[in-house]
Amino acid sequence: MVFLHILFAATVAFSSAMAVPTATAVTSSVLPSPTSEAHQQIMSNWSFAVGNFYAGSADSTASLQPICKDIGALGHGQWSRQGLSPELIQRPICNMTRSENVNPSIAIPWTIRSLSDMFTTQLLGAFDGQYKQSSLGYVCNNTQYQALDAYNIDSQRVVNATCHAAGLEMRPQLVEPLTTPNMTDASVYIEALSALYGITLASTARDMRELDGICHAMDGRMKALNAMHLNGSIVLNGTCGRYRPHSEQPMGGHSGGPLPEDGSPMLPHTAFDLVRVQMTRMFTIVLKGMNRSLEWNSWLCQNLNIDGLNNVGLIGDGVTEVVCQARGAVG
């Protein structure tokens, strides 16, 4: 995602919550495995974030050297099978080895950028059909910067890309005195992100020995993981193959789970499934929270496109179910 470093001078007022009719009322019970270019971009963004999370939370640069030389020492050859990019995971790890000490402040801006681009690509795919451009225009004009920033998402980066896709100029970041970020939702987002990271690491283990190795590598990194804006205890539970929060709960037409037994390695298709669940949770939390007005969820409920959401690797009817349940209330 190319970041246009241009701040357009637009003073578009908050537009009324007028629904644009779409065909999203037709719900598909089939959740195809996404193979779209957009989904590949999302997995590339996540790969780079994984590499930066790992590099920024390492106990020493020396511990990163073997992985820089051979990414198989961390991924056990499983990254590509899950749609991840070993090269993009390895790159920030190698970059950190060039520093005298591990410095989270080097990695954090890159995780924010990667997660922002991941969310942006998902957002651009969430609306489809003949009204896609007008829907993105509504998002462009109604995103509340401060609310989005609360999730460690670069609001200007997201809004700029959304406005550009809608053929509009990016409105300036105005003072939003009525915008109160939902810090509870932000905390839940961090929990989902931490679970996703833990699952991603644990999913590379082919047997108990490798799972124990990943678990051991994460043990003792609680402070460093927290410094990377993660929930260290949730990451540790995920990497050690223990219970992953919320993963068994149903989402729309998706049953949730089943999880592998505690402490057992997971099969590739199970890993893909769990990653999809957590990415859907992360996206839904931010989507609901990026505007704190009463009208926002109602508008989303009428305009989100299930097939478009599925196409970017999310559980489309899971997203719409949560959003439509929340309409009429501040997300």
* ∠ Cα 52 34 198 (to 5°): 35
| 232-249 pLDDT tens trace | 999 998 888 665 555 556
Measured from the Cβ of residue 114, the count of other Cβ atoms closer than 10 Å reads 24
Note the pLDDT of residue 171.
Answer: 74
Distance between CA 84 and CA 278 in Å, rounded?
Answer: 16
| 82-118 pLDDT tens trace | 889 999 999 999 999 999 999 999 999 999 999 999 9
Distance between CA 304 and CA 320 in Å, rounded?
Answer: 7
Note the pLDDT of residue 25.
Answer: 31
**How far lies 308's CA from each of 18, 129, 300, in Å?**
21, 9, 13
Distance between CA 313 and CA 273 in Å, rounded?
Answer: 10
Domain residue ranges of the chain, discontinuous segments joined by +: 108-331
Distance between CA 126 and CA 118 in Å, rounded?
Answer: 13
| 265-293 pLDDT tens trace | 777 778 888 899 999 999 999 999 999 88
Distance between CA 132 and CA 39 in Å, rounded?
Answer: 18
Percent of the chain with pLDDT over 90: 56
* pTM as predicted: 0.85
User: Exposed, middle or buried: residue 284 (CB in 10 Å: 0-12, 13-18, 19+)?
Assistant: buried
Q: Flag whether pLDDT at 326 surpasses 80.
A: no
**Which stretch of 159-168, 191-200, 268-277 has the lowest confidence by average pLDDT?**
268-277
